Amino acid sequence: MKHMEVCSGKTIDWGKKLRRALVLDNLRVQSLQLKIKAMSSSTAESISETQIPLTSGVKLQTLNYIVTVDLGGKNMTLIVDTGSDLTWVQCQPCKSCYNQQGPLYDPSVSSSYKTVFCNSSTCQDLVAATGNSGQCGGNNGVEKTTCDYVVSYGDGSYTRGDLGSESIQLGDTKVENLVFGCGRNNKGLFGGASGLMGLGRSSVSLIYQTMKDFDGVFSYCLPSLEDGASGSLSFGNDSSAYKNSTSFSYTPLVQNPQLHSFYILNLTGASIGGVELETSSFGRGILIDSGTVITRLPPSIYKAVKTEFLKQFSGFPSAPGYSILDTCFNLTSYEDVSIPTIKMIFEGNAELEVDVTGVFYFAKPDASLVCLALASLSYENEVGIIGNYQQKNQRVIYDTKEEKIGIAGENCSI
C-alpha cells in the first residue's frame, strides 16, 4: 500500500499542489457532513487471510493511499477509501475519463466479466450505497437493461457508469464475482489511479461482498510519504502480517442505524504532551476515514487542543495560516525541535498516539511554513473525522463482525 503522491516523474509546484490538496480535502469533509446530515434525517466456512502492499499515492499526484490489484487479469491501481462503498475502475469504452497511469479496464476482453442487470436485487442495493436505484427504463426508444450508477464525492469528483461483476485477486486469494462499477464518465482528483476501492459497511462494499472469504475483517498500516515507503492492506484476521510495536487496544464501533455505512468511534478524551484536555465535548462520535487527509475536530475540542499545544510548543516564530490549517510556524532556524505528543482516547480506553510524522504538515519543504496538521470543523454539531495523515504508522484493524476497531503503533515503512 503506497501513498499516492509517490508515481509521475513530472516537475511539480508543491506549494500550489499542497494548498489545492487541502482545499479539496476540505470539500470532501463538507460533502461527508452533508451526507451525514441527510442520512441522519433518514453457516461456518473456511476463512482466508491475505495481504497486499499499500503505498503513498504521491507519485500519482494524490494525498491518498493506493493498492494494486488484479481485476480480470489486469493490474489496476485503486485508492483505498473506508468512507465510501462502491469499488470502481475506469472502463472502455469511456465517454469521459481522466488521465490514469496504465490502460483502462476493458470488459469486452475479459471472459470472467458479467453485466449486472437493472432488474436484479444487486442493482436495488445501489440505493444504500449511492442513493441511485439503477431502475430500468428506456431512452429514445432504446430499452435500458444495465444497472447504472452515479457516485459523487463532494470535491467535484464523481464516477458514472454501470455495474458489472468480475474476479479480483487480493494478494494470494482470488475472489469471484465481485460487483464493481465500470466507470464510463469520471472526473476528479483521483490522480493517475485506475479507480477506487470502497471499504465501507454497505452491502456493495468489498468488505461485505467478501464476508465469507475474510469474515468481515481487514486492517491497514499507512506508511509515511517518503519514496519507497510501503505499508500493507490485509484481509482476514492475519496477525502474522502485523508488526506492531505496542499492544492492540480495542474500541467498539458506535451503532448508528442512520450512518450505518461509516466507521464511527466514541472519542472520550485527548492529551497533548501527557496533559489531558478538559472539555465537555468529549463523549461523541468521530469517523475514522482513510480517504480524508487532515483530521477535523469540533471547534470546542480543536480549541482545547490548539491552546495546550501552543502552551507546550512555545518560543517559535509564528507564520501565517495555510488553507484550512491555522496554527503555523517558521522553523527554518531550528535543526531540532521537541514536538509534543498528541493522543486520542476512545471508549474502552483505546488509544491512538499520533506518529511524529502526523503532527506537523510541511507546507514548505524549507520549514518556513510548518503547520499543526489538525483543523477545526465549522460547527459544533458536525461530526469529527480522523484523517489518514494522523493514522500513519498505526495498525488499524476493522472487525465488522465483532463491530470493533483495534489500534496499535507499527512502523509501516520497514
Catalytic residues: 81, 289
- C-alpha span between 362 and 347 (Å, rounded): 32
Contact present, 384 and 296 (Cβ < 8 Å) = yes
Contact present, 33 and 383 (Cβ < 8 Å) = yes
C-alpha cell read off for 30: 463538507
DSSP three-state, residue 151: strand
The residues near 315 (Cβ < 8 Å, ≥ 6 apart) are none
For residue 339, which amino acid is it?
Answer: I
Cβ-based neighbour number of residue 234 at 10 Å? 27
The residues near 122 (Cβ < 8 Å, ≥ 6 apart) are 116, 147, 163, 179, 204
Give which of 293, 261, 392 is closest to 17, Cα–Cα.
Answer: 293
Q: Which residues pair with 115 in a beta bridge?
A: 164
Give residue 311's Cα distance to chain centre.
32
User: 3-state DSSP helix/strand/coil percent for the chain, to nearest 5?
Assistant: 20, 40, 45
- C-alpha span between 373 and 358 (Å, rounded): 7
The residue ranges of DSSP E strands in 2-63, in sequence order, are: 2-5, 50-58
CA angle 248/253/254 to nearest 5° reads 145
DSSP H stretches of helix in 41-155: 121-124, 126-130
